[in-house]
Amino acid sequence: MDTALLIGRLFLAAVFALSGVAKLADQAGSRQAMIAFGLPRSLATPLGRLLPLAELAVAAALVPAVAAWWGALGALALLLAFVVGTGANLAQGRKPDCRCFGQLHSTPVGWKTLARNGLLMSVAAFIVWKGTENAGPSTVGWVGDLTATQLFGLLFGLVIVALLGIEGWFILHLLRQNGRLLMRLRALEAASGVISSGNGSQPGPSLPVGSVGPAFSLPDLRGEQLTLDDLRAAGKPVVLIFTSPGCDSCAELLPKIAGWQDKYSEKLTISLISDQSIEKNRTKFAEHGMHYVLVQEDWEVAGSYGADATPSAVLITPTGAVGSPLAEGPEAIETLIAQAIGAR
């Protein structure tokens, strides 16, 4: 029984540690997943930062015997919240992507998700049921009691797991590289009119090309209000790039955006529309010397353009019409800028 308790604790600790680290490496994706699950955008950002920290705290507590019961209780609470959220979405016929392990694994939720979390809950509940004084032996003491043969077997198993992890990491990055190539191809096809949905409109959440771009009035980093008409006043096309201070992909793109604003200023107006506070955005964007950084109160402007992820962008023609499908991701945005400059 003691061995079973220890194995259960270490299993849960490994799952929550992997989940927490993966979410920290993909905070933007985790935030979007929370929004997709129905959380308000105002809560998605702070919870997106707190959840991986809570998971890592649970993982750390499960290892030592003295804190294992509390770690199991925390694991049970988090898993119960996951099950309730998943069940509520499935009951409404919705299947948002579960980024439970960040970019390592992302699939639409389903009954398999509930079954997996139910299994983890049963392990956590078993540890909680045994009580605070009987959560299993000390991890260090248990390893010290192993024979030489058993210790060799344990180390061999850990090496195999590490090798599988490295292989998985390599495959993940290979798939991400292929995904970027496919995104660029999709953007090129969409811009040339090759891709369309069955009813002739643009695929996904994009506004139809040719429709009127939704108007807005937002403060810039100095607090001055700017409207879409103000951005169009020079008679040039406008590219709206939807971003966020906590988006890692956006941060990597910022130097390029600053360069585009300077290099193509006579042909194109490029404006960033971000969320959160003006202070956070000023800290993030001012160092790049960027112009036309506007701050939305929540996600109202991006949502009106059908943008659910960051970074994403759309072209507005000088007449105020939507001039392109929504470009999602750095590669697609670079393609959109290149096409906008070439079309000018």
Most confident range, picked from 14-28, 104-118, 275-289, 309-323: 309-323
Instruction: Write the pLDDT tens digit of every residue in 60-112.
Output: 988 888 888 898 999 999 999 988 988 887 887 777 767 676 555 556 677 88
Do 139 and 221 belong to one domain? Answer: no
Rounded to a whole number, what is the distance in angstroms from the first to the last CA of the chain? 73
**Range ranked top by mean pLDDT from 94-103, 109-118, 128-137, 223-232:** 223-232
Instruction: Mean pLDDT check: name the lowest of 7-21, 89-103, 120-134, 323-337.
Output: 89-103
The whole domain housing 262 covers 197-343
Residue 223 has pLDDT above 80, yes or no: yes
Position 137 pLDDT exceeds 90: no
Which of 145, 167, 188 represents a domain boundary (last residue)? Answer: 145
Domain assignment of residue 159, yes or no? no
Which CATH number is 310's domain given? 3.40.30.10
Query: pLDDT tier at 194 (50, 70, 90 boundaries)?
Result: very low
- Residue 166: inside a domain: no
**Tens-place pLDDT, residues 242-270:** 998 878 788 889 889 989 998 998 899 99
Q: Are residues 92 and 215 in the same domain?
A: no
* SS3 (DSSP) at 216: coil
DSSP-derived secondary structure for 113-179:
HHHHHHHHHHHHHHHHHH-TT-S---HHHHHHTS-HHHHHHHHHHHHHHHHHHHHHHHHHHHHHHHH
Residues 203 and 276 grouped into a single domain:
yes
pLDDT score at 200:
35
Q: Tell me how far the alpha carbon of residue 296 is from its chain's centroid.
A: 19
User: Is 259 within the bounds of a domain?
Assistant: yes
Instruction: Give how many domains the chain has, as a whole number.
Output: 2
Q: Are strands 225-227 and 217-219 parallel, antiparallel or unpaired?
A: antiparallel
